[in-house]
Amino acid sequence: MAFPDYRGGGFVNLIASLAEAGGAAPRHPTLALLPPAELSGARNIVFWIVDGLGDNYLSAHRPAGHFARRRRGSISAVFPTTTASAITTSFTGATPAEHGLTGWFTYFSAAGCVAAPLPFRSRGDNLPLTARGVSHEHLFTEPPLLDALTRRAIV
């Protein structure tokens, strides 16, 4: 098992570099492979997440491809390595231990059901959680990183 490197070599640190380059105070150390100073002068920064595309796959299947030629190194994922955990980290700059979303389906006492937080729907009946009287603030307790940026951002 590979453990995440939250000290400067992980996905959360990439988010910290993007945050600092965008004028926000990062919650964690910035990514050693991509210092914010390299980004802050850029006219545009495009942050593109391809869910499930890991370094091993990229290296094995396209070793001479466009992305591989521009590769600086590899970074560790968040833990647990789930879509819900990583996407929430990208929107908040917080680790899964900090934002609390550790899996696609999670029991939420505020909703009284197991739900998928990203589509904001209950499991089984697929109802919007708002139909159960639950607001986004009940599940997403960390502030959005976009609110802290001083430069224009589009999602």
Specify the pLDDT at position 58: 81
Specify the pLDDT at position 34: 96
Specify the pLDDT at position 60: 86
Tell me which residue has tokens 């992305």: 67
Specify the pLDDT at position 63: 78
Specify the pLDDT at position 15: 98
3-state secondary structure 97-155: HHHCCCCCCEEECCCCEEEECCCCEECCCCCEHHHHCCCHHHHCCCCCHHHHCCCCCCC
Per-residue pLDDT of the chain in tens (155 residues, 90 and over written 9): 789 999 999 999 999 999 999 999 999 999 999 999 999 889 999 999 988 888 888 888 877 888 788 889 999 999 999 999 999 999 999 999 999 999 999 999 999 999 999 999 999 999 999 999 999 998 899 999 999 999 988 87
Specify the pLDDT at position 127: 97
Specify the pLDDT at position 16: 98
Are 86 and 77 within 8 A, CB to CB?
yes
Tokens of 151: 């430069």
Specify the pLDDT at position 65: 83
